[in-house]
């Protein structure tokens, strides 16, 4: 059985926490550059110019893209033939968050208790979504998630008879009512199916997909394209100031569901759509 040390996980999480906050991934950067070319509204175009300038400054000066450096959300796929030695997995992830957010002077945004709590001071604990999969590697996705876009999340337990038209209405309504709050242009993560809690997880997981990648199921690939057009037709535009580009991408994750339930969820990423991945 292959082994890795817990410190390797800590080191990777620390490094990626900083890199995610300093550098937009190439897919996001490219999508914003294309949006700048496409945008027709002067206010929208100016917003996109400023977003690109801000991204460049953050990259070269090693400064956060946004003052909200996010809740550290970590998706992990742990191969069942990999043995972690020298420490436990979640402690290693949290040590990485602690170290990365401290070394990178990233804002600490986590309260120890939702009502009574004080700031934990190191941005821990991370939210960890762990799956055990075949293989002997560990894949980690670090997704610092800003509060403004997270607050615009919604879930609906729709009637199965609402069908795909109901999904379209719900997604477009979420984006329209969110308006400028999630700092558009956004990436719209859509979960369809599963149970109540799993559907919310799917919408967040959908945000891991690279912008520009095609859904493996052609039905959902077409639905993503249609939803992107519908969302951009709302005219919300960059930062809600009006324009053609409200979203950079609509990403769907679908799962089996109970015959009596039809959960649909939306989780948006702002233009600071931070995500980094590593395989150990």
Give the interface with ligand SF4 as residue ranges (CB under 6 A).
66, 68, 146-149, 182-183, 270, 272
**Shortest CB 148 distance to ligand SF4, Å:** 3
Between 100 and 182, whose beta carbon lies closer to ligand SF4?
A: 182
Torsion of CA 232, 25, 77, 87, to 10 degrees: -140
Q: Closer to ligand SF4 by CB, 108 or 169: give it.
A: 108
- Which lies closer to ligand SF4 via its Cβ, residue 22 or residue 220? 22
CB 213 to ligand SF4: min, Å? 22
List CB contacts of 82: < 8 A, sequence separation 6 or more: 1, 2, 3, 4, 135, 136, 137, 138
When CB distances to ligand SF4 are compared, the closest residue is 146
Rounded to a whole number of angstroms, the minimum distance from the CB of residue 186 to ligand SF4 is: 9
Distance CA 179, CA 81 (A): 46
The backbone torsions φ and ψ at residue 166, rounded to the nearest 5 degrees and listed phi first, read -65, -40
CB of 268 to ligand SF4, least distance (A): 9
CB of 270 to ligand SF4, least distance (A): 3
Burial class (CB in 10 A: 0-12, 13-18, 19+), 31: buried
Question: Among residues 9 and 273, whose Cβ is nearest to ligand SF4?
Answer: 273
Residues 206 and 268: their CA atoms lie apart, in Å, by 10
Q: Among residues 8 and 149, whose Cβ is nearest to ligand SF4?
A: 149
Q: Which is nearer to ligand SF4, 252 or 273 (CB)?
A: 273
Per DSSP bridges, beta strands 154-158 and 262-269 are antiparallel
The Cα 21–Cα 65 span in angstroms is: 6
Q: Which of 9, 23, 124 shows the shortest CA–CA distance to 64? A: 23
Q: Tell me: cis bond preceding 125? Omega within 30 of 0 counts.
A: yes
Find the shortest distance in angstroms from Cβ 24 to ligand SF4. 11
Residue 256: burial class (beta carbons within 10 Å; 0-12, 13-18, 19+): exposed
**CA–CA separation, 53 vs 66, rounded Å?**
13
The least distance separating ligand SF4 from the CB of residue 61, rounded to whole angstroms, comes to: 17
When the beta carbons of 23 and 68 are compared against ligand SF4, the nearer one is 68
């Amino acid at each position: 059985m292959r082994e890795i040390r817990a410190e390797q996980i800590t080191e990777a999480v620390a490094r990626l926490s900083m890199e995610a906050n300093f550098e937009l991934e190439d897919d996001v950067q490219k999508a914003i550059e294309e949006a700048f070319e496409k945008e027709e509204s002067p206010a929208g175009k100016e917003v996109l110019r400023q977003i690109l300038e801000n991204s460049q400054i953050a990259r070269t000066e090693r400064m956060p893209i946004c003052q909200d450096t996010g809740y550290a959300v970590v998706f992990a796929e742990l191969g069942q033939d990999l043995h972690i030695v020298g420490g436990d997995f979640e402690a290693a992830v949290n040590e990485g968050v602690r170290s990365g957010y401290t070394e990178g002077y990233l804002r600490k945004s986590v309260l120890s208790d939702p009502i009574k709590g004080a700031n934990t001071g190191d941005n821990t604990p991370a939210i960890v979504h762990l799956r055990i999969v075949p293989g002997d590697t560990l894949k980690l996705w670090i997704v610092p998630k800003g509060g403004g876009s997270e607050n615009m999340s919604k879930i609906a337990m729709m009637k199965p008879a609402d069908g795909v038209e109901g999904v379209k209405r719900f997604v477009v309504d979420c984006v329209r009512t969110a308006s400028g709050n999630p700092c558009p242009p956004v990436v719209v993560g859509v979960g369809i199916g599963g149970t109540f809690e799993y559907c919310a997880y799917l919408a967040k997981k959908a945000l891991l997909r690279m912008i520009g990648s095609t859904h493996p199921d052609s039905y959902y690939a077409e639905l993503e394209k249609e939803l992107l057009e519908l969302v951009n037709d709302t005219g919300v535009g960059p930062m809600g100031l009006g324009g053609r580009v409200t979203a950079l991408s609509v990403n769907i994750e679908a799962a089996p569901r109970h015959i009596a339930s039809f959960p649909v969820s939306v989780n948006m990423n702002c233009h600071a759509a931070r995500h980094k991945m590593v395989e150990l």
